[in-house]
Structures are given as structure tokens and as C-alpha cells.
């Protein structure tokens, strides 16, 4: 369940944690701390509610644009998590080799 709702004067996104990882949602929320006050709340077993507060210094922000940008960034962060998970073993081999004094292959 993903969707935008208006609640108590705030904009909210309902995000399924089966679609986006909680880590990607948190990273995205942190990146948007300069554009809105962002609060994460559980909204069910596999749903997070992302609450955007546009008051104070954030009052002049265009809420619809911020939410649109948030969704784009969320997709980017989630894909980064997938790539990180898929390339982790190879990255570890490369790092281990870089910091070792041995060689992986014989030199001719």
C-alpha cells in the first residue's frame, strides 16, 4: 500500500515495507530534513507512515513537489540498497585483496 494522504494539516505517505526497505525510507527521510520536518510512524504490520510537516522555515516549500522528489529519491535509495546487497561479496573480496600482501593469481 503506497499513497499520499492529508492528515491533521500534514501530508503523509503510506509506504509498504515489502516494496521499500525501512533503511531506504530512513535514508530518504534524512536527506529531506532540510525541506520538511519528516517523522516516521508505524501504520500497520508492513506499512510505514511518513509524515511531512511544512511549518516554520519549511512553510514556503511546495508540498506536492517535495513529496514527488521524496518518491524519486526513495526509489534511488532502495535501488542503491539492492546493488549494495548484490555486490557485497565481490566488494569484500576486492577490499580483502587490496589490504592483503598476497596475490589472488600467480604472476607469469
Rounding to the nearest 10 degrees, give the CA dihedral for residues 85, 91, 92, 97. Answer: 170
- 79 versus 105: the higher-pLDDT residue is 79
Percent of the chain with pLDDT over 90: 54
Cell triple for residue 62? 511546495
83-108 confidence digits (pLDDT tens): 999 999 898 888 888 888 766 566 66
DSSP code string of 35-103: TSEEEEEE-STTEEEEEEE--GGGTTS-HHHHHHHHHHHHHHHHHHHHHHHHHHHHHHHHHHHHTSSS-
Domains annotated on the chain, with CATH: 3-98 (3.30.1360)
6-40 confidence digits (pLDDT tens): 877 789 999 999 999 999 999 999 999 999 999 99
Residue 56 has pLDDT above 80, yes or no: no
Radius of gyration in angstroms for the set of CA atoms belonging to the chain, rounded to a whole number: 20
Amino acid at each position: 500500500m503506497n499513497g499520499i494522504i492529508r492528515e491533521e494539516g500534514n501530508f503523509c505517505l503510506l509506504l509498504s515495507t515489502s516494496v521499500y526497505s525501512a533503511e531506504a525510507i530512513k535514508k530518504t527521510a534524512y536527506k529531506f530534513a532540510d525541506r520538511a520536518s519528516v517523522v516516521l510512524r508505524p501504520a500497520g504490520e508492513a506499512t510505514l507512515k511518513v509524515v511531512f510537516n511544512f511549518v516554520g522555515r519549511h512553510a514556503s516549500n511546495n508540498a506536492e513537489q517535495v513529496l514527488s522528489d521524496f518518491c524519486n529519491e526513495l526509489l534511488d535509495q532502495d535501488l542503491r540498497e539492492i546493488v549494495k546487497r548484490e555486490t557485497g561479496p565481490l566488494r569484500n573480496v576486492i577490499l580483502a585483496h587490496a589490504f592483503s600482501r598476497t596475490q589472488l593469481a600467480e604472476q607469469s
